[in-house]
Amino acid sequence: EVQLKGAGPTPYSRRADGRAVLRSSVREYLCSEALFHLGIPTTRALSLVGTGDGVYRDMFYNGDVKLEKGAVVCRLAPCFVRFGTFQLPAVRGGEEVGLVRKLADYVIKHHFKDLEGEKGGRKYERMFERVVEDSAKLVVHWQGVGFVHGVLNTDNMSILSLTIDYGPFGFLERFNVNYTPNTTDVPGYRYTFKNQPQIFLWNLAQLGSALASAGLFDVDKGQEILDRYGDLLTSAYESQMARKMGLSEYNQDLSIGLMKLMSDCRSDMTNTYRALSQVTRMQNDGIGGEIPSKLDEVLRVAEATEEQREGWLEWIKEYQALLREDPMSAEDQAELQDATNPCYILRNHLCQEAIEAAEDGDYGPVNDLLDLLRKPFEEQEGKEGYKRVVPKELDGPGVSMLSCSS
């Protein structure tokens, strides 16, 4: 399916003008491609075109309306059906409830073809099972690279478990599990990094309720399927974390210890994990009282205290002992880490710099970022600046936090 975001009102538009500004369009264009090349299921961006029109937007909903440049993103996906597409007719009730079954039949026919032969209501149960499993995998992918969606309502959840609708998203840089990139989320902190797995579960429950309300399966069966989410999430998460650490098996104490250290000194998540492969390669060398150089640089930027550094040293010794006990060779461990922990993400301030250049008519920085993000796991010569954590003076509304305004 092909969609034009920002091309104007459609027969299905609500009360808004159907337009999009260049600012939000650049963000979707870059981030959807960034996630794709990180190996995360997502819609894709085919093109980004400026319209030449002005679009009025109140970016922070504070009455400061500005005229911004308009744009259109052409985006692609096998299907743009969302959880909310099922939920709306179910909530409205009456004759509209029948649309839930029609929609489920459509989705199965075109996107879950292997389920068409299932008898009775079993095909709907199997579809829901598949969505629950794939959703658990998707949110684990996000958590692994620090992607925070920002607006995880049911209308922004894809029935195919794709990352969809890029609004006030952000990547977690200075490690803080309570990070939200959405300024309007701050009062309740509903969509923070740490809450995303639980929000996925809540949204899946709403989908299950909509399917059950249309008689596609009974409530108890829906709950039984939903109850599997926790185990699916845990299995996917432990597998991913083991890879990030270069280990054959997940070690909970080691992983939690690392996150506590990152949280205490607010070290950059991406750079911290990427630096671990050097620690892995040095597992038989003996580090004495020196933190390996790449991790040392991450901690220098984070302004870690001497006490915090001592904590890191103790953790490294425990980590290297576990690495030596693992059946994989040191090089295989490190290569696994380098294929799992990216060098480059779409950092919030770099995205903003590219937007400001595009607004001035220079798309060079957008194209440079896109080229970089196509090879996120490869060290690229002369690209050290793209690893730089967002400056503290920019780490707030306008750069690391935005509104839903498009």
In terms of C-beta density within 10 A (0-12 exposed, 13-18 middle, 19 or more buried), how is residue 212 classed? buried
Q: Are strands 147-148 and 170-171 parallel, antiparallel or unpaired?
A: antiparallel
**CA separation, residue 274 to residues 196, 256, 341 (Å):** 23, 17, 5
**Two tokens, residue 44:** 């894709």
**CA separation, residue 182 to residues 129, 148, 168, 198, 219 (Å):** 31, 9, 5, 17, 34
Residue 220 falls in the annotated catalytic set: no
Report the interhelical angle of 229-245 vs 269-281 (nearest 10°): 50
Given the residues 105, 134, 155, 296, select the one marked as catalytic.
Answer: 155
> Amino acid letter at 355?
I
DSSP letter at 6 equals T
**CA separation, residue 147 to residues 84, 249, 350 (Å):** 22, 24, 15
Determine the Cα–Cα distance for residues 403 and 406; give it in Å rounded to an integer. Answer: 8
Determine the Cα–Cα distance for residues 165 and 295; give it in Å rounded to an integer. Answer: 35
Determine the Cα–Cα distance for residues 60 and 184; give it in Å rounded to an integer. Answer: 8
Cβ contacts of residue 25 below 8 Å, gap of 6+? 5, 6, 48, 71, 72, 73, 406
Catalytic residue list? 155
